Amino acid sequence: MSLVIKRRPTRQIRVGNVKIGSDAPIVVQSMTNTRTQDVPATTAQIHRMENSGCEIVRVAVPDMEAAAAIFSIKKKISIPLIADIHFDYRLAIAAAEAGADGLRLNPGNIGGIKKVKAVVDCAMTYNIPIRIGINSGSLEKDILNKYKGVTAEAMVESAVRHIELLAAFDFHDIKISIKASDVHRTLEAYRLLSSKTDFPLHLGVTEAGTLYSGIVKSSLGIGILISEGIGDTIRVSLTRDPVEEVRVGFEILKALEIRRHGPEIISCPTCGRCNIDLFGIVESVEKAMLKKSLPIKLAIMGCMVNGPGEAKEADIGIAGADGMGVLFRKGKVTRKFSQEKLVEVLLKEVEKYETIDHPQLQNNNKE
């Protein structure tokens, strides 16, 4: 029986053409790691992110050259772009003027109230939202002194202070993130903040780490919060290609049965009996199926004898060994063929399943 997750009601905002909050789908986003000033490299990376399903992209804006580059980048991409600002309020204004669809900043580190107001006035002029980004490593000194260090309560007080500051300028087009680098503080901070505000929340575990530790921390932190109904957008932070961040983000949502992006793939962990390149085959299928929202379960097995039976719940599956491959449905073998055609046969069968056998699924599950 599937778990029914009831989302926490939040206000709804827009970043470009993407709705965030309220009844909008939980949005998966990521951040480029190219130099934003290098327009060709940044654009190329964003295109790969778009192909993996990324719905909002964030770029670093460390200087005026990077802010100006947004104008050219925006003309070449199809998803909304958020400018990430630190320390200099003028960069936020320049990014907005260059066409950014949103701003991410910590109002506490860009100067005094007048400078914050200048950014807010600009955001109002261009009708773009601001994400208040609170990180455990950048809290105000008075708050750190009050709580004797970085605690969830300290992070929430900082977030509320910034919300009230923007509200004082009659600005309410806000989303909030409140990230720590460990799971426990992240959970505690988001739970506390969600009880104090109805602004949409952007989830993540900051500086989560390398591929394995980052996936584990992010899956736990983001997954637990979403299962509690908290969260409107997510970013998985990895010291890795941002395309991997997007893939992991959608896998978290898929595992919780919230959004389906790409098929559910089951595959054996391999053993000494496996004599095909199962890792490569699974990777090829995943990449080919990444943008499909078709609700289908695929099996890729390394044993022709036991594989179909072990994967009998799969809609479609393949297994191979000793130069031979088999295609099966619900555990029953339907076709045999040469082993080198494993991926080709599976993808053709998926296309048949989608367009001929179940055309209503193709129409109902486009995102």
- Mean pLDDT computed over every residue of the chain: 88
Predicted confidence (pLDDT) per residue in 222-261, tens digit? 999 999 999 999 999 998 899 999 989 998 998 898 887 7
Burial of 342 (0-12, 13-18, 19+ CB in 10 A): buried
Instruction: For residue 362, give both structure tokens.
Output: 């193709």
Write the pLDDT tens digit of every residue in 110-158.
878 899 999 999 999 999 999 999 887 778 889 999 999 999 999 999 9
Of 30, 25, 3, 44, residue with least CA distance to 248: 30
Tokens at 196, concatenated: 């104090």
Please list, in sequence order, all residues whose beta carbon lies within 8 angstroms of the beta carbon of residue 176, skipping any fewer than 6 positions away: 131, 132, 133, 134, 159, 163, 193, 197, 199, 200, 201, 202
Contact present, 143 and 106 (Cβ < 8 Å):
no
HEC readout, 13-43? EEECCEEECCCCCCEEEEECCCCCCCHHHHH
Q: Are 302 and 296 in contact (CB under 8 A)?
A: no
pLDDT score at 50: 94
Would you put residue 180 in left (φ > 0), alpha (ψ -120 to 50) or beta?
A: beta
Query: CA-CA distance, 231 to 157, in Å (whole number)?
Result: 19
Backbone phi, psi, residue 335, to 5°: -165, 145
- 103 touches 119 (CB < 8 A): yes
Using the structure block, give the residue that is written with the tokens 């500086």. Answer: 207
Reported confidence tier of residue 107, pLDDT bands at 50, 70, 90: low
pLDDT in tens, 182-230: 899 999 999 999 999 999 999 999 776 678 888 999 999 999 999 999 9
